[in-house]
Amino acid sequence: MGAEIVEPGATVTYEIEVKNQGNIPSKTYDVLDQIPAGMSFVSASDGGLYFAAQKRVSWNNLTNLEPGESRVLTIQLKIEDPRLRPFRNWSEITDDSSGDYGFGETDEDSTPDCMFQGRLSQ
């Protein structure tokens, strides 16, 4: 699938998939999304909170994911300055509940502060 062509002023939707690839329930976790330069915030799913001063969206205390289960968060952004493209939307898991288990379990590929790239939905 090629890149989607959008016009200045258009609203685009990014999908952020969070998946529990471990073998134990995730408990709660937080996700942070940094809005790309040249874009402005329109809306976020699942109670995402917008912080205008930092151009960030934060989802806090998202509910448990069972092993193998995933969740898709969405963020809608408006293209304000097309000269700043390509628009790459970066998100990260900023906190998880691994410390709550008490026996040293970690999910190495979901380390907090590990950035991942959102996907522009059709």
Q: Is 111 part of any domain? A: no
Comparison of pLDDT for 32 and 105, the residue scoring more: 32
Confidence grade of residue 43 (pLDDT, cut at 50, 70, 90): very high
Residue 71 placed within a domain? yes
On whether residue 28 sits in a domain, the answer given is: yes
Query: What is the pLDDT of the chain when averaged over all its residues?
Result: 82
Q: State the total domains in the chain.
A: 1
Q: CB-based contacts of 43: which residues, under 8 Å, 6+ apart? A: 75, 76
Residue 1 inside a domain? The answer is no
Nearest to 107 by CA among 77, 69, 80, 73: 69
Enter the pTM of the model: 0.78
- DSSP letter for 38, please: T
Q: Say yes or no to pLDDT of 53 above 70.
A: yes
Is 84 within the bounds of a domain? yes
Within a domain: residue 114?
A: no
